[in-house]
Structure 1
């Protein structure tokens, strides 16, 4: 079989979408120029107001704000965090509603840090909560500008654990470092497909 060129992808892109997209790009450039590399995030009350006004989830607006702030520069870590150098204890705990949020430690690597967050449901003896879906992102502020990316999550039965990749690495002294969790969920993200296995399975003798 010989080589063939890629076919042009069929597009239904119209002037209607062009006008909207161009305005989005113009506003992104305007905000980036005004911010001058600094991070600006709206307060929780304003996020709630916008959520009601525009019929969006707070976590979706939080995702957009995080992306706008992180757009001040690229997140370079092409070869991963690198060699493990040590561990820093964080041990910060906050309780919101029926959940405990605990930042336990940071694995210190050559090119970045990996921070672990544990989320525990406090009233699991009284109610079966099922699977926790954390639409959250870690925000870090301090003398240095930090970039944060999610690094997986796992758990069940009212408990879950999340990892966050931080660049540059956190300092050994965390006195001037402040941690917070913000609502964060990409608005176009589709929920994972669920497959229910409920048929009888019989293992027969060989």
Structure 2
């Protein structure tokens, strides 16, 4: 999914703010380093106190700190190019009558695309999809020294079937036998883990 290019919301910039804005960037970097890039979120009491002390709306401060949690979504997008082949996987995991499966991987010259499905019984008594708490899955890959970047490209479905794709870069090796796909369920919009995860081993 190609991200739209950013357009500045204003045409002017007060250059008197340059030193202050650079200090803000420096503080953000120091915040990441001090927290090992896992800062959590300020308590409601802190947000309320800071909003009064510095004359900001509470919702504005909430949005600022929420933005710090989502930096990864701004990583440069890798667009798969140069299709090579499809690799069948057909591996699955089942829990509470929900069937999770990885059907195949599409190999490109610069990336791989993992196809992930979720299937459940489409019951008339089940809560309609639009009223369910929105969740999604993060993917990480273990088994090699390579640090793979895995991006959930979204998906959709109908009835009891959902289908999603993950873009993985760099491209996975053709021999997937030593790799493990680790799927972690998260709540959106802040990617908060629910505690449910499972592993699909790609050994033959």
State if a TM-score over 0.5 links the two structures. yes
Alpha-carbon distance in 2 for matches of 1:179, 1:30: 30
Alpha-carbon distance in 2 for matches of 1:120, 1:127: 16
Summarize the Cα distance change of 1:125–1:163 in structure 2 as closer, same or farther, 3 Å threshold.
same
Residue 187, structure 1, aligned to residue 186, structure 2: no
Residue 147, structure 1, aligned to residue 149, structure 2: yes
Larger Rg: 1
* Equivalent runs, 1:156-195 vs 2, <5 Å: 156-184=158-186, 185-187=188-190
**Conserved in 2, the CA contact under 8 Å of 1:147 and 1:168?**
yes
Summarize the Cα distance change of 1:21–1:6 in structure 2 as closer, same or farther, 3 Å threshold.
closer
Q: Tell me the CA shift for residue 126 of structure 1.
A: 6.0
**Conserved in 2, the CA contact under 8 Å of 1:130 and 1:158?**
no
Summarize the Cα distance change of 1:126–1:108 in structure 2 as closer, same or farther, 3 Å threshold.
same
Structure 1 portions without partners, runs of 5+: 10-19, 36-40, 42-49, 56-63, 189-206
TM-score normalized by the length of structure 1: 0.56
RMSD between superposed Cα atoms in Å: 4.1
Summarize the Cα distance change of 1:89–1:134 in structure 2 as closer, same or farther, 3 Å threshold.
farther
Summarize the Cα distance change of 1:76–1:129 in structure 2 as closer, same or farther, 3 Å threshold.
closer
Structure 2 portions without partners, runs of 5+: 1-9, 15-23, 45-68, 192-204
Alpha-carbon distance in 1 for matches of 2:86, 2:182: 20
TM-score normalized by the length of structure 2: 0.56
**Conserved in 2, the CA contact under 8 Å of 1:130 and 1:156?**
no
Which of the pair has the greater relative contact order for Cα pairs under 8 Å at 6+ separation? 1
How many pairs align? 148
Q: Tell me the CA shift for residue 172 of structure 1.
A: 1.5
**Conserved in 2, the CA contact under 8 Å of 1:130 and 1:157?**
no
Residues 125-175 of structure 1: CA distance to partner in whole angstroms, max 9, x if unpaired?
463443274421111112111001122302011211000000011111112
Q: Which has the higher strand share?
A: 2
Alpha-carbon distance in 1 for matches of 2:153, 2:32: 27
